[in-house]
């Protein structure tokens, strides 16, 4: 697919400086782009590459001031990074929209309801009473259990497993290998020391505009629903336990583990490898540093925590500063002790 600077500027509401007929067929990094590619400059660290790039078109911020002559066509926008992401998304949509129909071999139960322009990849399995909305794409090797609902414009990548009764909203992307709706970790201890499984009869609900990374697992609720609310973004290799709620537009980085029945608010940011115990609440806007261990509820909105157990981020920085100075403090204390001894000795000798 080929696009001109004029066409691109309309999509991202940009202003052209240079040749409006300059055309591109793909994307490239500014330091590596060829003369048929589009790139962008948002980070000043890469500014020098703008004057050397072979890219046919480069997206830059409105505020950027040229320091040297350039050979490329510029498109100026308010936010170059966001505009470039918008173009990538548009390009991806155009590619996936071309995918339609049902590849064979695959199994689709007679009671499945498919919307218009749906794609089902080879070796997919779709159980009884599954419903799939318009323009959704289910890639090869996926498993969709009985009574699953999938909305419009959903992309389910290869090897995803969605257990029975789960609900996937509109404009959701689920990456390869993710499992949604497996049993929550529920076992009741018995008098003889054994554990009896507690049936997990709830489901998982994924609301609109959620993206879930590869090999993430989201357990079904014991009763009720495990809930991922609209706009949330989950990275790869995350464990979400039964009856957890993840708030609107919350982002969670890789290898985070969230224990059962924890409620995470809106616009929360959780760094990689953090762990949250069960049955706590995390206030809206909280920021949890990477590798933190959250052992109690975070009740103050928009506060940051770090460490294990996690506590106030600013206090943690002060503590770290003091810790780094301990050798020097120890030396000063020893010097003060010696000085005190000398003063005492002089006082005794003067009596």
For residues 181-200, b (16+ Cβ closer than 10 Å) or e, as one string?
bbebbbeeeeeeeeeeeeeb
Q: Let me know if 15 is exposed, middle or buried by CB neighbors in 10 A (0-12, 13-18, 19+).
A: exposed
Q: Which helix (H) or strand (E) holds 329?
A: helix 326-350
Q: How far is CA 71 from CA 33, 51, 63, 331, in A?
A: 13, 8, 19, 62
Using DSSP, how many helices (H) and how many strands (E) does the chain show? 5, 40
CA nearest 305: which of 276, 325, 278?
276
| CA pair distance 77, 13, nearest whole angstrom | 7
Residue 7 Rama label (left phi>0; alpha psi -120 to 50; beta): alpha
For 214-236, letters b (16+ CB in 10 Å) and e give bebbbbbbbeebbbbbbbbbbbb
Residue 333: count of CB within 10 angstroms of its CB: 10
Active site residue 242: yes
Provide the sign of the torsion angle of the four alpha carbons 29, 34, 40, 45, taken in this order: positive
Residue tagged active-site, from 157, 171, 209, 242: 242
Which residue, 52, 22, 64, is CA-closest to 8? 22
Whole-number Å distance between alpha carbons of 156 and 150: 10
Active site members: 242
């Amino acid at each position: 697919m080929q696009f001109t600077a004029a066409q691109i500027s309309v999509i991202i509401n940009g202003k052209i400086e240079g040749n409006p007929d300059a055309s591109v067929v793909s994307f490239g990094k500014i330091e590596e782009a060829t003369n048929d590619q589009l790139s962008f400059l948002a980070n000043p660290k890469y500014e020098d590459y703008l004057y050397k790039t072979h890219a046919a078109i480069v997206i830059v911020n409105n505020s950027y001031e040229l320091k040297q002559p350039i050979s490329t066509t510029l498109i100026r926008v308010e936010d170059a990074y966001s505009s470039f992401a918008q173009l990538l998304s548009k390009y991806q949509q155009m590619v996936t929209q071309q995918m339609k129909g049902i590849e064979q071999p695959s199994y689709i139960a007679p009671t499945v309801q498919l919307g218009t322009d749906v794609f089902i990849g080879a070796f997919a399995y779709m159980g009884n009473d599954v419903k799939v909305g318009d323009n959704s794409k289910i890639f090869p090797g996926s498993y969709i259990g009985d009574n699953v609902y999938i909305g419009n414009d959903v992309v389910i990548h290869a090897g995803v497993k969605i257990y029975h009764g789960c609900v996937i909203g509109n404009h959701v992307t689920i990456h390869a290998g993710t499992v949604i709706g497996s049993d929550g970790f529920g076992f009741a201890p018995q008098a003889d020391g054994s554990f009896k499984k507690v049936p997990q009869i709830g489901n998982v609900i994924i609301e609109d505009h959620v993206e879930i990374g590869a090999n993430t697992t989201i357990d079904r609720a014991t009763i009720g629903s495990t809930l991922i609310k609209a706009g949330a973004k989950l990275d790869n290799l995350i464990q979400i336990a039964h009856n957890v709620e993840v708030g609107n537009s919350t982002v969670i980085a890789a290898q985070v583990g969230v224990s059962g029945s924890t409620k995470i608010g809106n616009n929360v940011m959780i760094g990689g490898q953090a762990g949250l115990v069960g049955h706590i609440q995390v206030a809206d806007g909280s920021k949890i540093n990477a590798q933190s261990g959250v052992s109690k509820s975070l009740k103050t909105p928009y506060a940051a925590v770090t460490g294990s157990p996690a506590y106030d981020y600013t206090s943690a920085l002060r503590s770290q500063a003091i810790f780094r100075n301990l050798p020097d403090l120890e030396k000063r204390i020893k010097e003060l002790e010696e000085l005190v001894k000398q003063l005492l000795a002089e006082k005794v000798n003067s009596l």
